Amino acid sequence: PVIQEDTCNCVPNAVCKDGFCECLPDFYGDGYVSCRPECVLNNDCPSNKACIKYKCKNPCVSGTCGEGAICDVINHAVSCNCPPGTTGNPFVLCKPVLHEPVYTNPCQPSPCG
């Protein structure tokens, strides 16, 4: 049997294809020096993204914050807040603030003096 030798000398996470090294899908680099994922730490991503399963993604996906809440990403971390005019736990539910009507008596103080 003929034993085929890997003449490419590829790094981990790379394959030899037609005599050249290529990084595997979802890995970045030249195949000879390094092939690394998009991110390993949050700091590898822009501040409005987080490193999730080695990819820079927006952590404000559906269901991250409660119903009616606003989701922001600040330094890779999720921040949930109830918008103005609402109240509640932003991780559960934000509901409109109800203002009790203020009743005034037009006869007090006496309009007649």
The CATH number given to whatever domain includes residue 111 is 2.10.25
Looking at the domain assignment, is residue 20 inside a domain? no
Q: Tell me if 11 is assigned to some domain.
A: no
Query: What is the reported pLDDT for 1?
Result: 57
Instruction: Give the chain's residues under pLDDT 70.
Output: 1-6, 106, 109-113
The answer to whether residue 75 sits within a structural domain is: yes
CB distance 52 to 61 below 8 Å: no
Number of domains in the chain: 1
pLDDT of 11 reads: 95
Q: What proportions of the chain, in percent to the nearest 5, are helix, strand and coil? A: 5, 35, 65
Residue 69 belongs to domain spanning? 60-113
pLDDT of residue 101: 74
Q: In this structure, is residue 48 part of a structural domain?
A: no
Q: Is residue 53 part of a domain?
A: no
Q: Which of 103, 106, 83, 102 is nearest to 93 (CA)?
A: 83
Cα–Cα distance for residue pair 66/54, rounded to 1 Å: 26
Q: Give me the pLDDT at residue 7, please.
A: 76
Domain-embedded: residue 111: yes
User: Does the residue 97 lie in any domain?
Assistant: yes
Residue 52 lies in a domain: no
* CA 17/CA 19 separation, integer angstroms: 5
